[in-house]
Amino acid sequence: MALIAVTTRAVSIALACRTFDISETCYRYERLLSDENAEIADWLERLTTNRKTWGFGLCFLYLRNVKGFEWNHKRVYRIYCELELNLRIRPRKRLQRPKPDALAVPEALNQTWSMDFMQDQLADGRKFRTLNVLDDFNREGLGIEVDFSLPAVRVVRSLNRIIEWRGAPKVIRVDNGPEYISGLLMRWAEQRGISIAYIQLVLSRFSSGLFRAMFAMKEIENGKEIHRRV
pLDDT computed for residue 185 by the predictor? 85
Q: How far apart are CA 90 and CA 79, in angstroms?
A: 19
What's the whole-model pTM score? 0.48
pLDDT computed for residue 193 by the predictor? 93
Residues with Cβ within 8 Å of 141's Cβ and at least 6 positions away in sequence, in order, are 132, 133, 134, 206, 210
Q: How far apart are CA 135 and CA 141, in angstroms?
A: 7
Closest CA to 107 of 161, 170, 189: 170
pLDDT computed for residue 27 by the predictor? 64
Secondary structure (3-state) at 132:
strand
Q: Could you please report the per-residue DSSP string of 36-49? A: HHHHHHHHHHHHHH
Residues with Cβ within 8 Å of 116's Cβ and at least 6 positions away in sequence, in order, are 131, 132, 174, 175, 202, 203, 204, 206, 207
Q: How far apart are CA 145 and CA 131, in angstroms?
A: 5
pLDDT computed for residue 158 by the predictor? 92
pLDDT computed for residue 169 by the predictor? 93
pLDDT tens for each residue of the chain, 230 residues long: 666 777 777 778 787 777 777 777 776 665 555 678 888 999 999 998 888 888 888 889 899 888 889 888 898 999 998 888 877 656 666 666 556 556 678 889 999 999 888 888 888 888 888 889 999 898 888 988 988 888 888 889 999 999 999 999 999 988 776 666 678 888 999 999 999 887 754 444 555 555 555 554 444 455 455 455 45
Closest CA to 99 of 1, 15, 200: 200
